[in-house]
Amino acid sequence: MPELPELEALVLRLRPRLLGQTLTNLEVHRPVVLRNLLAEPEDVLVGRRVTDIQRRGKLLLLQLKDLWLVTHFMLAGTLVWPEEGELPRSRDYYTLSFGNAGAIRYYDPRGMGKTYLTRDLALVPGLAQMAPDALSEELTLDVFLQRLRSCPGEIKGVLTHERVAAGIGNAYADEILFCAGIYPFAKANRLTPAQKEQLYGAMRSVLPDRVSFLLEHWPPDMDLHWREGLQVHRRRGEPCPRCGTPISEINVAKRPTNFCRNCQPGLLIRN
């Protein structure tokens, strides 16, 4: 699933390319992903200029004058950059064309993602209820600790369910917890004050560092599922970058959790 760093880097890459450009064509190949919340057809977008590109949590927001395209990529969605005249594949859902600026196409092998067309962002499911963004100024240490107090579950689950901060998924929860030296299955309400501060500090360093890494190393296709350069996530059996202990992996609900048993000690409660 694309997470905060990939989407933040995508926004920074898209802005110089698309801001001020006019949408010249919208082609819907498979309508299931595009959710029109207007009382008008989708082609109302054509002829509008791109006036803003934002990210909120794991959502990409593209503003075209008074309309918004809000995309939640879910597990497998991404954007691709078709060549001129390149025909859509079976799992391409729509194409946005911007004249000389080229085109972007939504691709999703699972078809689980959603793009909402709306004038009112409050109509986008979950957006109004979203926790503060993990990199926002609003999420101070005090706010983070306050939100954490109401979360009794395992700390990785708390992070990935965005009860405390928006934008963190499976991959970066692993990375943040490794940086903080916290066992992924520790109960959030049993963390010490020092651990909670370490967790906040890790979140505020891992995520922007990863954005910088992506901007420097990301391939030109900007695949939102590119995960090179991570410390522990998906590195089962490889040596821990700190101590050399083989990285462990435990699967919960078909999602891997990777951690170092030496650097993140804790009682094993998963099989």
Same domain assignment for residues 101 and 147: no
Mean per-residue pLDDT for 131-141? 96
Same domain assignment for residues 30 and 56: yes
Catalytic positions? 2-3, 58, 255
Q: What is the pLDDT confidence band of residue 271, given thresholds at 50, 70 and 90?
A: very low
Helix (H, G, I), strand (E, B) or coil at 263: coil
Mean per-residue pLDDT for 226-246? 97
Indicate the number of domains in the chain: 2
In a domain? residue 213:
yes
Query: What pLDDT is recorded for position 32?
Result: 93
Mind listing the pLDDT tens digit for each residue in 163-222?
899 999 999 999 999 999 999 999 999 999 999 999 999 999 999 999 999 999 999 999
In a domain? residue 271:
no
In a domain? residue 249:
yes
In a domain? residue 132:
no
In a domain? residue 269:
no
Same domain assignment for residues 171 and 244: yes
- Joined together, the tokens standing for residue 265 give 């000690």
231-239: long-range pairs with CB below 8 Å, 24+: 231/175, 231/178, 231/179, 232/174, 232/175, 232/178, 232/258, 232/259, 232/260, 233/170, 233/171, 233/172, 233/174, 233/175, 233/258, 234/171, 234/258
Q: What is the pLDDT confidence band of residue 268, given thresholds at 50, 70 and 90?
A: low
* Cα separation, 257 vs 271, whole angstroms: 12
Q: What is the pLDDT confidence band of residue 232, given thresholds at 50, 70 and 90?
A: very high
| Number of C-beta neighbours around residue 40 at 10 A | 11
Same domain assignment for residues 71 and 153: no
In a domain? residue 188:
yes
Host domain of residue 53: 4-123
Same domain assignment for residues 175 and 100: no
Q: What is the pLDDT confidence band of residue 123, given thresholds at 50, 70 and 90?
A: very high
Same domain assignment for residues 64 and 153: no
Same domain assignment for residues 156 and 117: no
CATH (domain of 152): 1.10.8.50
| Helical axes 4-18 vs 193-217, angle rounded to 10° | 40
